[in-house]
Amino acid sequence: MPVNLTTRPEPGGLITADTMLALIAAVETLQTQMADVQRRLVILEQGGFRKPPKLIPILPDKYKDFVTKVRGGDIKILEEPDKLKRLETIADLYKDDRGEFTLDDEIARTELTAEEWIIAGTAAGVKPSQVATILETKYPTTAAAINAKLGDQTVELDSYADIGTGRIGFLQ
């Protein structure tokens, strides 16, 4: 919005109180606009309005094949009504296949990390925010590790997770 100074003194004329008030109002308007632009610039420099949480790097095509295998192959994980059993099954399958689609250097470890539980849980049709809650009954240590590592980010991951396809949007 451009600033308009309608009352301008004639060259060589006196500057009146009205002119000074208009000038002060114009400066205040410009300062407010500059502060707003600076706030927007800081947000843009930080990567926009919303940053997705960090998860492990994966190869999207190979992960898509994994999801297709566990959902539509011989396994058909979504037919299991108990979500805890789904998570236990997907954890074993994920451990077997993760070397093919993860880009992590330490894929030889035996236990899934908090991030891997979220990715595997999404493949099994479980929302990221529900993974720790479901595991809490039988695996309280794992649930505590997920909550400690990701905490409130799991709720934010729900908006990125597509339970219908089993994938998390920004990983693709």
Considering only CA atoms, which of 167, 169, 168, 163 is closest in space to residue 83?
163
Spell out the residues 6+ positions from residue 3 whose beta carbon is closer than 8 angstroms to its own.
26, 29, 30
- Tell me the domain boundaries of the chain: 1-49, 60-171
Considering only CA atoms, which of 63, 68, 70, 100 is closest in space to residue 88?
70
Is this prediction's pTM over 0.75?
Answer: no
Contact 156, 146 (CB under 8 A): no
Helix (H) or strand (E) holding 167: strand 167-168
Rg of the chain on CA atoms, in Å: 27
pLDDT of residue 151: 79
Residue 161 to residue 25: CA distance in whole angstroms: 49
pLDDT of residue 172: 47
- The tens place of each residue's pLDDT in the chain, 172 residues long, gives 566 666 666 777 777 888 788 888 888 988 988 988 888 777 666 655 556 667 778 888 888 888 888 888 777 888 889 999 999 988 888 888 877 777 765 555 678 888 888 888 988 889 988 998 999 889 889 888 888 888 778 887 887 888 888 878 755 4
Residue 38 to residue 96: CA distance in whole angstroms: 49
Q: Is the dihedral of CA 112, 103, 155, 122 positive or negative?
A: negative
CA angle 96, 159, 76 (to 5 degrees): 35
